[in-house]
Amino acid sequence: MSMLVPLPTPLPIRHGVVDREGWLAVARDVLDSGGRLVSLWGSQRPSGAVACAAYAFSVEGTLAWIELPLAAGDGYPDLAGLFPAAARMQRATMDLLGIAAAAALDARPWLDHGLWPLQWRALRDHAAPPGATAELPSDYPFVRVKGDGVHEIAVGPVHAGIIEPGHFRFSVVGEKVLRLEQHLGYVHKGIERRFTELAPHDAYRLAGRVSGDSTVAYAWAYCMALESAVGCEAPPRASWLRALMLERERVANHLGDLGALGNDAALGFGLAQFSRLREDWQRLSFDAFGHRLMMDCIVPGGVAVDPDRSLLDGLSRQCAAIEVELLTLRAVYDEHAGLQDRFIATGVVAPKLAAQLGLTGLAGRASGQAWDLRCNPSHPPYDQLDVTMATHRNGDVAARVAVRFDEAMESLRLIRAICAELPEGAVRDDLELPAREAVGAGWIEGWRGEVFVALELTADGRIRRCHCHDPSWQNWPVLEHAVIGNIVPDFPLINKSFNLSYSGHDL
């Protein structure tokens, strides 16, 4: 393996190249060291004949981006036997670039639902050849469960509400779930192709639209990656304002999920109260940042909005008021016998299974996986804010609810601290692109979990590849395990307790 070169980022991120033996050797060392897979993707090199498989892993708070150059037609060693979460990432890489994991046990298409022309790859090929046709498969090859009394329930891909499409195939006996298999990828939007058509200074707007509920996290991760490639950092005041927006995004989503979880367990009161709080929260975000979701506020080199002292004081006052209501509502949830009956011991993911499958983010912390980039490794301004990580070990719906309450309370504290201690100074620096090929990476703890961006720039200042990774890639497969042994009516509750992203997954 070549030497791992540190990238100029606020976090310990390194980059290196390996051969085929090194690809597996590094992965085994990561597993033996208790590390975890962060992402896996592919990239087409300028000649078009040479590709590159890549993965990122984290060990003890350090992230390493490893590349394996491939000759035309070559595959790369399968990682799914070491890191189960790699399986779907490898299938997506095949669909997008035609780069295959050699001897993979599961080589079914993932993003290609049979509507793409044969042999056409969405990220490799600019246009389908003339006359190219697709062969729509009659049925996705789900794994079947056989036995007396076993039947299947097909849910989706079109749902009754306004959620995005995804197919869930349940194998059940009576109401007990024996197996769940998902089929996603219905909302593939071509975002990674679109990145290559945008100027690096403008692409932050696309990053912020990867997943609307995580617009701050994605924009920050992209801007961190671009700043890393350029070799600079945002001014201190800008970093603090980025954190302020990220914590407001975290609170908004936790408020929404806590209300929805109450509603899924027949406590409509919870939905009404948390919806009211979230609406007030987002209205003040609009007043302070010009957008309810704070979209397009994080920009390369810093931030585009600098709230004045009166607005910052208003944000602090709102935190104090919502903290009181949050404590009251938590007592209602904790003391409601019907709610707790639905939450406790439902959708359990034990810590051992969570570690084996790579469960991450808030769902991982509810199953004993104590990782939070705001704590280890922390970066500005979190290295000055002494963040308390919310964790639990029961791994059930109740634990995931508890983690949401704890994280919301901690975010309220952090917001007040940021508003009080916000340093003076500039909020944006100009970025000058290097006159050479460059790579950069961004790694941010969004509300759902780790958001990762790997960026490659060409020597003439264009984006060759921008890979965005959502923590839902790790967590969707774990949801299949969480529902086993539960009854079908509890699936909506278990699903909402994870609240995974379709949009961030189906780029």
Look at the block and give the residue holding tokens 């949401």. 404
Helix, strand, coil proportions of the chain in percent (round to 5)?
40, 15, 45
At residue 159, the pLDDT reads 86
Look at the block and give the residue holding tokens 């000058």. 432
* Mean pLDDT of all residues in 237-248: 98
At residue 73, the pLDDT reads 83
When mean pLDDT is compared across 16-25, 113-122, 127-136, 274-283, the lowest value belongs to 127-136
Alpha helices in 336-429 (DSSP H): 337-343, 351-357, 361-365, 397-421
N-to-C CA span, the chain: 31
Asked whether the bond before 423 is cis by omega within 30 degrees of 0, the reply is no
Q: What does the alpha-carbon distance between residue 157 and residue 175 come to, in Å, rounded to a whole number?
A: 21
Q: Which of 150, 145, 167 is nearest to 158 (CA)?
A: 167
Q: Which of 335, 362, 168 is nearest to 262 (CA)?
A: 335
**Strand intervals (E) in 417-489:** 438-445, 450-457, 463-469
Q: Which of 164, 156, 163, 141 is nearest to 91 (CA)?
A: 141
Q: What does the alpha-carbon distance between residue 376 and residue 333 come to, in Å, rounded to a whole number?
A: 31
Asked whether the bond before 117 is cis by omega within 30 degrees of 0, the reply is no
**pLDDT score of 45 more than 90:** no
SS3 assignment, position 379: coil
Q: What does the alpha-carbon distance between residue 349 and residue 394 come to, in Å, rounded to a whole number?
A: 8
At residue 131, the pLDDT reads 66
At residue 422, the pLDDT reads 98
**pLDDT score of 380 more than 80:** yes
SS3 assignment, position 257: helix
**pLDDT score of 1 more than 60:** no
Q: What does the alpha-carbon distance between residue 379 and residue 393 come to, in Å, rounded to a whole number?
A: 26
Look at the block and give the residue holding tokens 């979880």. 261
When mean pLDDT is compared across 154-163, 185-194, 252-261, 498-507, the lowest value belongs to 154-163
Query: How many C-beta atoms lie closer than 10 Å to residue 313's C-beta?
Result: 13
SS3 assignment, position 501: coil
* Mean pLDDT of all residues in 74-93: 96
Q: What does the alpha-carbon distance between residue 256 and residue 368 come to, in Å, rounded to a whole number?
A: 24
HSE-CB for 124 with a 13 A CA cutoff? 25
* Mean pLDDT of all residues in 125-150: 81
463 vs 132, higher pLDDT: 463
Query: Concatenated DSSP letters for 174-192?
Result: TTEEEEEEEE--TT---HH
Q: What does the alpha-carbon distance between residue 381 and residue 385 come to, in Å, rounded to a whole number?
A: 7
**pLDDT score of 136 more than 70:** no
pLDDT band at 60 (very low <50, low <70, confident <90, very high): confident
Strands 13-17 and 62-70: what pairing?
parallel
Phi and psi dihedrals of 189, rounded to 5? -115, -5
At residue 119, the pLDDT reads 84
At residue 50, the pLDDT reads 65
Specify the pTM: 0.97
Strands 176-183 and 298-299: what pairing?
unpaired
Query: How many C-beta atoms lie closer than 10 Å to residue 84's C-beta?
Result: 16
CA dihedral 368→373→375→379, nearest 10 degrees, is 170
**Tens-digit pLDDT profile for residues 319-336:** 999 999 999 999 999 999
At residue 125, the pLDDT reads 87
**pLDDT score of 259 more than 90:** yes
**Token code pair at residue 287:** 């007043």
Average pLDDT, the chain: 95
Beta bridge mates, 56: 39, 65
Domains recognised in the chain with CATH numbers? 5-122 (3.30.460.80), 191-498 (1.10.645.10)
* Mean pLDDT of all residues in 2-19: 91
Length of the chain: 507
CA dihedral 131→135→136→140, nearest 10 degrees, is -150
CA dihedral 265→347→256→331, nearest 10 degrees, is 60
Beta bridge mates, 55: 40, 66
**Token code pair at residue 315:** 């944000």
Q: What does the alpha-carbon distance between residue 220 and residue 44 come to, in Å, rounded to a whole number?
A: 25
pLDDT band at 137 (very low <50, low <70, confident <90, very high): low
237 vs 188, higher pLDDT: 237
When mean pLDDT is compared across 135-149, 278-292, 384-398, 460-474, the lowest value belongs to 135-149
Q: Answer yes or no: are the C-beta atoms of 82 and 28 closer than 8 Å.
A: yes
Q: Answer yes or no: are the C-beta atoms of 226 and 302 closer than 8 Å.
A: no
* Mean pLDDT of all residues in 189-209: 97
**pLDDT score of 23 more than 70:** yes
At residue 127, the pLDDT reads 74
Q: What does the alpha-carbon distance between residue 2 and residue 329 come to, in Å, rounded to a whole number?
A: 54
